[in-house]
Structure 1
Amino acid sequence: MHKWQIQEAKARLSTVLRSAEQDGPQDITHHGRSVAVLLSRADYDRLTGNRQSLVEFMRRSPLYDQDDLIIERDASLTREFEL
């Protein structure tokens, strides 16, 4: 992760933004202390889960709303246990 002093990040914002998109998160420091991380929108969406939910995924299934679908659970043990 590349580190930018806050003054340099302000002066070269477009470069910092391009670096976040191409190279990943960019660390912003103030007096040598990390105070912020700049992420690309794609990284932010991936980290915050701003993608479709499980419910949305299942609703898009070709099996959604089929009343004649029968799902049976396998009752067998997953492992053999020795006593």
Structure 2
Amino acid sequence: MNWQLQDAKNHLSKVVEKALTEGPQTVTRRGKRTAVVLSVEEYDRLTKDKDRPSFIEHLLSGPEWPDDMYEEVNRRSKTPSRPPIDF
């Protein structure tokens, strides 16, 4: 449900109760969505994976490359294969 900021301030306990029973409650200011009130259970569910590694960390945690792969990567030219594009 959407709540205008002033209404959310005036009825905070109702906003919190609805967040607990009906799900996240959106607060708007000047017609724009600005905040969401949600239960702590929903918040915990959304943030529980914060210890998950980044995509780069995930890639780097894979199996080690064989020596010939390192050699192939290092053998490649370090200059770009195409000229830069001017916009």
Detail structure 1 runs of 4+ shifted over 3 Å in the superposition.
none
2:15 aligns with 16
- Residue 8 of structure 1 deviates from its aligned partner by 0.1
Instruction: Find the aligned partners of 2:37 and 2:13 in 1 and give their Cα distance.
Output: 12
Unmatched 5+ residue regions in structure 1?
54-83
Letter matched to residue 43 of structure 2: Y
RMSD of aligned Cα (Å): 1.4
Q: Identify unmatched segments of 5+ residues in structure 2.
A: 52-87
Matched residue count: 50
TM-score, normalization by structure 1: 0.58
Instruction: Give the letter for the 1:5 counterpart.
Output: Q
The CA distance in 2 between the partners of 1:17 and 1:38, in whole Å, is 7
Q: CA deviation at 1:38?
A: 0.7
1:47 aligned partner, one-letter code = L
